Chains A and B, each alone.
Chain A
Amino acid sequence: MHNMNETNMTSQSQLQFSEARMAEIRELLTHYPENQSRSALIPILHMAQSDFGGWLSVPVMDYVASVLNLLPIQVYEVASFYSMFNLKPVGNYLIEVCRTSSCWLCGAEDITAHLENKLGIKVGQTTADGLFTLKAVECLGSCGTAPMMQVGANYYENLTISKVDSILEELKKENKYSRYC
Chain B
Amino acid sequence: MPKVTIDDISIEVPEGTTILEAARMIGGDIVPPAMCYYSHLQGTGGYCRTCIVQVTQGSEKDPRPMPKPVASCRTTVMDGMVVKNTTSPELLEARAGVVEFLLINHPLDCPVCDQAGECHLQDLGYDHGKLETRSEFPRREFEPIDIGPHIKLHMNRCILCYRCVKVADQLTDGRCHGVISRGEASEISTYIEQAIDNDFSGNMIDVCPVGALTDRTFRFKSRVWYTKPVDAHRDCPTCSGKVRLWFQGDDVIRVTSRKDEYGEVTTGPEGNPEWICNTCRFDTKSVHDWEIEGPSHIQRQSVISANHYESLKALKVTTERMYDANPHGTKVDLGEGALDPNNESK
Contact present for B174 and A77 (CB under 8 Å):
no
Contact present for B192 and A77 (CB under 8 Å):
no
Contact present for B178 and A76 (CB under 8 Å):
yes
Q: Which of B106-114, B120-128, B179-187, B277-285 contacts A (4 or more CB under 8 A)?
A: B179-187
Contact present for A80 and B174 (CB under 8 Å):
no
Contact present for B180 and A76 (CB under 8 Å):
yes
Q: Cβ of B56 < 8 Å from any Cβ of A? A: no
Contact present for B191 and A71 (CB under 8 Å):
no
The contact size tier of chain B is 10 to 19
Chain A residues with CB under 8 Å of B177's CB are 73
Q: Mark A23-43, 1 if CB is under 8 A from B, else 0.
A: 000000000000000000000
Contact present for B176 and A80 (CB under 8 Å):
no
In Å, the complex CA distance between A72 and B175 comes to 9
> 8 Å CB contacts to B: which residues of A67-110?
71-74, 76-77, 80-81
Q: Cβ of B190 < 8 Å from any Cβ of A? A: yes
Instruction: Name the residue of chain A whose CB is nearest to the CB of B185.
Output: A80
The contact size tier of chain A is under 10
Instruction: Name the residue of chain B whose CB is nearest to the CB of A62.
Output: B192
| Least CB distance, B142 to chain A, in whole angstroms | 15
Contact present for A73 and B175 (CB under 8 Å):
yes
In Å, the complex CA distance between A76 and B192 comes to 9
In Å, the complex CA distance between A76 and B191 comes to 7
Contact present for A71 and B175 (CB under 8 Å):
yes
| Least CB distance, B178 to chain A, in whole angstroms | 5
Chain B residues with CB under 8 Å of A71's CB are 174-176
Contact present for A77 and B180 (CB under 8 Å):
yes
One of B175, B182, B190 near A80 (C-beta < 8 A): B182
For the complex, would chain B's binding face be called helix, strand, loop or mixed by DSSP majority?
loop
One of A73, A74, A80 near B181 (C-beta < 8 A): A80
In Å, the complex CA distance between A132 and B38 comes to 48
Contact present for A74 and B192 (CB under 8 Å):
no
Q: Cβ of A1 < 8 Å from any Cβ of B? A: no
Chain A residues with CB under 8 Å of B175's CB are 71, 73
Chain A residues with CB under 8 Å of B174's CB are 71
Chain A residues with CB under 8 Å of B179's CB are 77
| Least CB distance, A15 to chain B, in whole angstroms | 16
In Å, the complex CA distance between A80 and B191 comes to 9
> 8 Å CB contacts to A: which residues of B136-185?
174-182
In this complex, which of A71, A73, A80 has the most chain B Cβ atoms within 10 angstroms of its Cβ? Answer: A73
Instruction: Name the residue of chain B whose CB is nearest to the CB of A77.
Output: B178
Chain B residues with CB under 8 Å of A76's CB are 178, 180, 191-192
| Least CB distance, B27 to chain A, in whole angstroms | 38
Chain A residues with CB under 8 Å of B181's CB are 80-81
Contact present for B180 and A80 (CB under 8 Å):
yes
Instruction: Name the residue of chain B whose CB is nearest to the CB of A74.
Output: B178
In Å, the complex CA distance between A58 and B193 comes to 11
Contact present for B182 and A73 (CB under 8 Å):
no
> 8 Å CB contacts to A: which residues of B191-216?
191-192
Chain B residues with CB under 8 Å of A73's CB are 175-178, 190-191
| Least CB distance, A140 to chain B, in whole angstroms | 18
In this complex, which of B175, B190, B191, B192 has the most chain A Cβ atoms within 10 angstroms of its Cβ? Answer: B191
> 8 Å CB contacts to A: which residues of B67-84?
none
> 8 Å CB contacts to B: which residues of A116-155?
none
In Å, the complex CA distance between A72 and B180 comes to 12
In Å, the complex CA distance between A74 and B190 comes to 10
Instruction: Name the residue of chain B whose CB is nearest to the CB of A73.
Output: B178
Chain B residues with CB under 8 Å of A74's CB are 178
In Å, the complex CA distance between A58 and B176 comes to 14
In Å, the complex CA distance between A71 and B190 comes to 12
- With A72-B176, A80-B182 known, 14 other A-B pairs at CB within 8 A are A58-B191, A58-B192, A71-B175, A71-B176, A73-B176, A73-B177, A73-B178, A76-B178, A76-B180, A76-B192, A77-B179, A80-B180, A80-B191, A81-B181
Query: Chain B: residues with CB nearer than 8 A to chain A?
Result: 174-182, 190-192
**What are 11 A-to-B residue pairs whose CB atoms are below 8 Å?**
A58-B192, A71-B176, A72-B191, A73-B175, A73-B177, A73-B178, A73-B190, A76-B178, A80-B181, A80-B182, A81-B181
In the complex, the 10 A-B pairs of residues with the closest C-beta atoms, listed nearest first:
A76-B191, A77-B178, A73-B178, A80-B180, A80-B181, A81-B182, A73-B176, A58-B192, A73-B175, A76-B180
